[in-house]
Amino acid sequence: MSGNGLEMLKRWLTTREAPWMVQFLKYGICGVLGVVVYAGTTYLMVSLWPERVAESLPDALRSRNLNIFQGIAFVPANVVAYLLNRTLVFTPGRHRMSHEFFWFTVVAMVSAGCGLLATDVLIRIWSAPNWTGTAASVVASAVMNFVCRKFFVFAK
Average pLDDT along the chain, 156 residues, taken 10 residues at a time: 70 72 84 92 95 91 91 94 88 84 91 80 83 75 77 75
- Whole-angstrom Cα distance, residue 155 to residue 19? 15
Q: What residue numbers bound the domain in which 128 lies?
A: 20-153
12 occurs within a structural domain: no
The helix (H) or strand (E) run that includes residue 2 is: none
- What span, in angstroms and rounded, lies between the C-alpha atoms of 148 and 151? 5
Confidence (pTM): 0.73
Q: At 153, which amino acid appears? A: V
Residue 99 lies in a domain: yes
Rounded distance between C-alpha atoms, residue 94 and residue 156, angstroms: 5
**How many domains, the chain?**
1
Inside any domain, residue 61: yes
- For residue 8, tell me if it sits in a domain: no
